[in-house]
Structure 1
């Protein structure tokens, strides 16, 4: 047995037994054993200004929910088809709750050694390759209780490997359809771009249930080796009532680049941790994040770029809209470590308030351990600019429509950064729904 909270105990023997019954690899089972042995002695993460002591991250109705699979694009649900740019996206993975439901990979890429597989299957087919990168340089099993729990209960996800000097022109897209209220999502995504390679990866988490009490524990490890480039886009639309931890972690080597465009549109109570380590000289990361909080939702969105390499550049842009009684904490951290000479850390966090009862905190943090650097930050929390509204209304636009246009303009820098048109369209529609709904 392994205690993870005062209320919940993991039966370690059952976890390992189920893993064996599902045919998981020895590598994955050993990782789960490792996590179960240490979880009881690990602490919970401590997100700044957010009290998570009463949040239930652990109780699962069913560790794995089996769902339907699809044999062709035509069989996919319309909600999934609407997220795909089918004409231009040749590399598609669909996960239905916890079930690998559909996979399409360009044969030309397979011939070049590109791997796009369900994470569990990949540990069978490419054990040495997965073992080299899985929870080694990105997220550690023993970081805290939630990373250990993630490892022990992992039930889905994707592995993408791009060999040296291979440039994938078409995006790789993953869609996770959550439509069973008993299904918890414990997904692990591992994207590795080897030296000189390039890939664009986009994921969609979509809940088609109105409300559920299940858990989200998602970890993405995004590793760009020397001179590699990864563009990572995501739109999360997870249901009200879920409790979650989402950790998207990047590691960039010499001359590497990782760019992020994240649309955090869930109605769940969430910790979102997006951290990029600029380990190499001349490494770069551009982070763009947008979120809308509504209802009684409580979010902590921490975005960090940590500079180790010389001449590294990290820019953070976060925009949020708060309405109803929602609360969001924006923590932006630019950290230049000793030795990161001539690095540049910039950040901007802005929150737009649509309700007097909502709460939004923008906390810019610069930590500088080196002299010859450039750094700056900007932060603001406020209402819709009355001068902007006045200008638009003076042109014959109603107040409601004027507010709508201002909000879309406020969030547009992140929307434009998403690399797939169908995903941009989805995010615009979700923004419209969340902003205008009562």
Structure 2
């Protein structure tokens, strides 16, 4: 997309049975971006979807998938720009034994505001979900996260896990996280957690005692903080783009 024009997009992906697909999406727009992605995962089909957003001042993205039995959808979202960025990702696990992974990385700086929502609805039996996201917040930026795992009465033998962690690099930064569980069937294994903290003084002191400057020590801490999530990313192109954007953010701070 052109970096000077607004982006208004609607992408629909409809898979067939026993197929696999890898989708990568990178948006770069002017002041305004809005996009909607729909993915329909047929029986025993699998989809890897990765998006890296480098949009302008205002950005709204919504992504939704519906799975049939034994279908799988893995989402990856990297967000690094935009004055106000709102992203909602939703998976409806309709078919039995279908599953989803939702992996997120975002890094607001300056006065950016990143508002992220990850939702999953378990309808079929034996469905599985794993949400794992990490954010670094610096300067006067704000990170807002809401995660919802909903297990319907029809969903037996369900597994659903959610974890969100935030690293705050500035006293002026803000982070709000709200992980939620709505369970209507007792036959479930589920957990949810969220944590926010600053750079551990002991860790930074250890790195500096090994001859690293404060800036280089912080860079290592940030990269190490993202690494557990980076290891989960299966789409090489998206992983490389995210590493580039993290490096760019660190370089901008100098």
| 2:39 paired residue number | 222
Match runs of 1:374-393 below 5 Å: 374-393=189-208
- Number of equivalent positions: 253
- Whole-angstrom distance in 2 between the partners of 1:340 and 1:391: 48
TM-score normalized with structure 2 length: 0.94
Structure holding more strand per residue: 2
- Whole-angstrom distance in 2 between the partners of 1:219 and 1:260: 14
| 1:9 paired residue number | none
| 1:41 paired residue number | none
| 1:134 paired residue number | none
| 2:19 paired residue number | 197
- Is the Cα–Cα contact under 8 Å of residues 97 and 125 in structure 2 kept in the other structure? yes
| 2:50 paired residue number | 233
- Is the Cα–Cα contact under 8 Å of residues 315 and 346 in structure 1 kept in the other structure? yes
After superposition, the CA RMSD in angstroms is 1.6
- Whole-angstrom distance in 2 between the partners of 1:419 and 1:202: 12
- Is the Cα–Cα contact under 8 Å of residues 77 and 105 in structure 2 kept in the other structure? yes
Does 1 or 2 have the higher relative contact order (CA < 8 Å, sep 6+)?
2
- Whole-angstrom distance in 2 between the partners of 1:202 and 1:418: 12
1:408 aligned onto 2:223: yes
1:271 aligned onto 2:93: no
User: Displaced runs of 4+ in structure 1, greater than 4 A?
Assistant: none
Out of 87, 99, 102, which is 1:287 matched to?
102
Unpaired stretches in structure 2, ≥5 consecutive residues: none
1:178 aligned onto 2:2: yes
Following superposition, the deviation at residue 420 of structure 1 comes to 4.2
Unpaired stretches in structure 1, ≥5 consecutive residues: 1-176
- Whole-angstrom distance in 2 between the partners of 1:216 and 1:179: 11
CA gap of 1:313–1:331, structure 2 versus 1, over 3 A, is same
- Whole-angstrom distance in 2 between the partners of 1:415 and 1:186: 29
| 1:252 paired residue number | 67
- Whole-angstrom distance in 2 between the partners of 1:377 and 1:300: 19
Question: Which of these two proteins has the greater Rg computed from alpha carbons?
Answer: 1
Most deviating of 342-351 and 391-400: 391-400
- Whole-angstrom distance in 2 between the partners of 1:294 and 1:426: 18
| 1:373 paired residue number | 188
Following superposition, the deviation at residue 237 of structure 1 comes to 1.0
Structure holding more helix per residue: 1
Out of 233, 242, 245, which is 1:427 matched to?
242
TM-score normalized with structure 1 length: 0.56
- Whole-angstrom distance in 1 between the partners of 2:233 and 2:17: 24
